[in-house]
Amino acid sequence: MKDQAEKLRNIMKNKPNKNNIKLSQDRAQVLAITSGKGGVGKTSFSVNLAISLKRLGYKVLILDADIGLANIEILTGINMKYTIEDLIKSDKNIYDIIEEGPEGIKLISGGSGIHQLSMMDDKNINKLLEEMENLEREMDYIIIDTGAGISNIVLDFVMISDETILITTSDPTSLMDAYTMIKALTTNGYKGKINIVINIVENRREAENIFNKLSKVSQNFLNVNLNYLGYLQRDVLVNKAVKIQQPFLILNPSSNISKKINVMALKLINPVKYNEKKENLGFVQRLKALLFGRDR
């Protein structure tokens, strides 16, 4: 696929304890939260997962890579003053464009600057990489909230992540789009783990049936194994949280949906059933590959 995603890819891990001390390797774990279509709760999941990881003692940053939409701002009630575009085009540094979100999670808005990555000159590329490298050394988790769909820019960011969390629902179009995303990742040689979260379901049985169907077709036709991260039931708390711009994990931490988010966070930091050796390239190294692989 000769697009900017392939270009960003073709150039050029680490658990802290609850006191935020790095125990190994000097780079953040990068999680891409994505979906085949919009309206499946991707951004809400990203924000609440980040808060859950923060409560476990990890330093967490969300990069809002959904171009043109301000969903992170809407869900958190935080006004993002600057974006990556200000980092690229002005004298702002990475810390100038970071906003502090709920319970101390960090937020960066990609804005239109995300779309300009493939058009940057060498000076701007080097500045971006240097700033992101500083950030990568400080954070434990960088969560990329991608746009919905399967555009080139969405694939760019998913392809350079350590793990993907693919959000889907029971809706047939959502499932088809989720499969299409899995196929696109597989076709392009994605090496990370693909985690599946089934959202807006009635109960555990429904969620497991949906996952089993998606897993079976992925194994049979793509020869790829999916990891079942968990499910979230339909809950009026989610709509209430959106209306008052407060993450549901804060609004009602003892709710069933909040507990399920916490369980998924624990699975991510302790993947006892996933022992494959991870590629030891950091986010910035893979970002270099994507940026410098451009045609000159």
Q: Does 41 show up as a binding residue in the annotation?
A: yes
Q: Does 42 show up as a binding residue in the annotation?
A: yes
Specify the range with the lowest mean pLDDT, choosing from 64-73, 159-168, 174-183, 229-238.
64-73
Mean pLDDT highest for which of 26-35, 157-166, 211-220, 284-293? 211-220
Q: Does 68 show up as a binding residue in the annotation?
A: no
Q: What is the pLDDT of residues 116-160, one digit of tens each?
A: 665 666 777 777 777 778 888 899 999 999 887 787 878 888 998
Q: What is the pLDDT of residue 41?
A: 92
Q: Does 169 show up as a binding residue in the annotation?
A: no
Instruction: Tell the residue number behind the tokens 């039931």, with chain if given.
Output: 233
How far, rounded to the nearest angstrom, does the alpha carbon of residue 212 sit from its chain's CA centroid?
Answer: 23
Number of domains in the chain: 1
Specify the range with the lowest mean pLDDT, choosing from 6-15, 17-26, 151-160, 235-244.
6-15
Q: Does 39 show up as a binding residue in the annotation?
A: yes
- Residue ranges making up the domain that contains 14: 4-292
Q: Does 282 show up as a binding residue in the annotation?
A: no
Mean pLDDT highest for which of 18-22, 124-128, 189-193? 189-193
Band (12; pLDDT cuts 50, 70, 90): very low
CATH number at residue 154: 3.40.50.300
Band (110; pLDDT cuts 50, 70, 90): confident
Q: What is the pLDDT of residue 212?
A: 97
| Mean pLDDT calculated for residue range 191-220 | 97
Closest Cα partner for 44 from 210, 268, 260, 212? 260
| Mean pLDDT calculated for residue range 209-219 | 97
